[in-house]
Amino acid sequence: MAFRTMEWVTEGPVLRLLDQRVLPEVVRYRDLATAESVAGAIRDMTVRGAPAIGVSAAFGLVIAARQAGGADLRAVLPAADAVLRAARPTAVNLFWALDRMRALWEAGADAARLEAEALAMEAEDVAVNEAIAAHARAILPQEVTFFHHCNTGALAAVGVGTALGIIRRAHEAGHKVFAYLDETRPRLQGAKLSSFELMEYGVPHAVVVDGASAHIMRKRPVDIAVVGCDRVAANGDTANKIGTYNLALAAQDNGVPFYVACPTSTIDMGTPTGDGIEIEERAEEEVLVVNGASIAPNGARAFNPAFDVTPNRLIAGLITEKGIIRPPFDVNLRALFGG
Ligand SMILES: CSC[C@@H](O)[C@@H](O)C(=O)COP(=O)(O)O
């Protein structure tokens, strides 16, 4: 692979992040040397995608721990923990990763132990991504046309990613693959990032405007819609990039099975339904300005929710590293988590 989403440089220590704000035109990296700058890079979307955000935050905390000198980490880390938690609200992986680190530092772990934990999370993500892709193979025909939203590939994770990882691995395993990629307004993760990845892997695809999905599913054969997610509630309602709900509705109306691919770390059993998921609202400029050019009249206002919630009734299954979870999600997720 010609790019690497993140790299931990222990000698710094720094977290080296591929700057996803300037892809695909420019491939450049940023070295972050403080927990605050890692939080800033999550907020400004230098790094994005739920699994990548979680692992980045864990490394941000390690940086703070390493810089603490001999100080008691229980006194030093709450500030770094708070700044990282405040970076973005919707992807539960951020909180999952920081909770996992906090359990250690509250119990007296030192910086070396925290670094080992962050590195373990990084390695786990690679394995989890592969397991998701392997489970998905069981439901894919030999010749398969996908619909996909946002970017859920290697740029959004440490390994091959979730939904886009399924598409990539199916292609590599010899399936005859074609993928329609929603461009994913306003930040165009589909056009800029998913297309960049699939070009890299040689996977045939077409970028389409977000509003085209229902029409395409009606007029052309589409076998499966598969997306990633930022948080799954205990009843299976799923938050993902804005426009996912529309895609799920289009899929249902056209008899296309709609799947959500995610690590189990994205399932939030503490949130009973999708109504409890906080939806990030981002700057109006993301809607009004595209690649530096204004696309609306001077003074026009915008509203920019970054995610939506797809109701569980529209979802055929959750493709996780532990297998495919089917409806009824409340019952089957409780069983999965031993509740
Ligand atoms: C494997 S990534 C899953 C999700 O995080 C992805 O679908 C998504 O919505 C990303 O949103 P982003 O705002 O780009 O962080």
Count Cβ atoms below 10 Å from residue 4 Cβ, excluding itself: 12
Are 109 and 76 contacting, i.e. CB atoms less than 8 angstroms apart? no
Model confidence at 70, in pLDDT bands (50, 70, 90)? confident
**Number of the ligand 1 atom closest to the C-alpha atom of 153:** 1
Ligand 1 center from residue 67 Cα (angstroms): 30
Q: Is 241 annotated as a binding residue?
A: yes
Q: Of 54, 47, 39, 59, nearest to 93 (Cα)?
A: 54
- Looking at residue 182, what is its pLDDT? 98
Model confidence at 103, in pLDDT bands (50, 70, 90)? very high
**What Cα–Cα distance (Å) separates residue 26 from each residue in 75, 166, 229?**
40, 26, 27
d(CA 70, CA 227) in angstroms, rounded, equals 45
Given ligand 1 and candidates 56, 95, 152, which is best to mutate, with the most ligand atoms within 8 Å of its CB? 152
**Both structure tokens of 105:** 């530092």
Which residues, 6 or more positions from 29, have their beta carbon under 8 angstroms from its beta carbon?
A: 7, 16, 17, 18, 19
- Looking at residue 80, what is its pLDDT? 98
Apex 53 CA angle, 66 and 245, nearest 5:
165
Ligand 1 center from residue 21 Cα (angstroms): 14
Residue range 4-37, pLDDT digits in tens: 999 999 999 999 999 999 999 999 999 999 999 9
The share of the chain scoring above pLDDT 70, in percent, equals 100
Complex ipTM = 0.99
Q: Is 322 annotated as a binding residue?
A: no
d(CA 39, CA 280) in angstroms, rounded, equals 15
Q: Please state, rounded to an integer, the average pLDDT across all residues of the chain.
A: 97
Q: Is 49 annotated as a binding residue?
A: yes
* β-bridge partners, 18: 29
d(CA 337, CA 339) in angstroms, rounded, equals 6
- Looking at residue 339, what is its pLDDT? 73
- Looking at residue 179, what is its pLDDT? 99
In the chain, ranges of CATH 1.20.120.420 domains: 6-128
Tell me if the pTM is above 0.80: yes
CA 227 to chain centre: 10
Q: Ligand 1, atom 7: nearest CA belongs to which residue?
A: 228
Q: Ligand 1, atom 1: nearest CA belongs to which residue?
A: 152
Fold topology of 138-336? Rossmann fold (3.40.50)
Three-state secondary structure of the chain? CCCCCEEEECCCCEEEEECCCCCCCCCCEEEECCHHHHHHHHHCCCCCCHHHHHHHHHHHHHHHHHCCCCCCHHHHHHHHHHHHHCCCCCCHHHHHHHHHHHHHHHCCCCHHHHHHHHHHHHHHHHHHHHHHHHHHHCCCCCEEEEEECCCCCHHHCCCCCCHHHHHHHHHHCCCEEEEEEECCCCCCHHHHHHHHHHHHHCCCEEEECHHHHHHHHHHCCCCEEEECCCEEECCCCEEEECCHHHHHHHHHHCCCCEEEECCHHHEECCCCCHHHCCCCECCCHHHHEECCEECCCCCCCCCCECEEEECHHHCCEEEECCEEECCCHHHHHHHHCCC
pLDDT(241) > 60? yes
Q: Is 218 annotated as a binding residue?
A: no
Mean pLDDT of 93-99: 98
pLDDT(1) > 60? no
Q: Is 240 annotated as a binding residue?
A: yes
Ligand 1 center from residue 45 Cα (angstroms): 10
**Number of the ligand 1 atom closest to the C-alpha atom of 164:** 1
Pocket-forming residues, ligand 1, beta carbon under 6 Å: 48-51, 91, 150, 152, 156-157, 161-162, 189, 228-230, 240-241, 306
d(CA 274, CA 272) in angstroms, rounded, equals 7
**Number of the ligand 1 atom closest to the C-alpha atom of 50:** 5
Q: Of 17, 70, 66, nearest to 39 (Cα)?
A: 17
Residue range 251-284, pLDDT digits in tens: 999 999 999 999 999 999 999 999 999 999 999 9
pLDDT(194) > 80? yes
Are 39 and 87 contacting, i.e. CB atoms less than 8 angstroms apart? yes
Q: Of 23, 30, 40, nearest to 6 (Cα)?
A: 30
d(CA 170, CA 215) in angstroms, rounded, equals 25
Check: CATH 3.50.50.60 for 6-128?
no
Which amino acids are annotated catalytic? 230
The length of the chain, given as a count of residues: 339
In the chain, ranges of CATH 3.40.50.10470 domains: 138-336
- Looking at residue 2, what is its pLDDT? 75
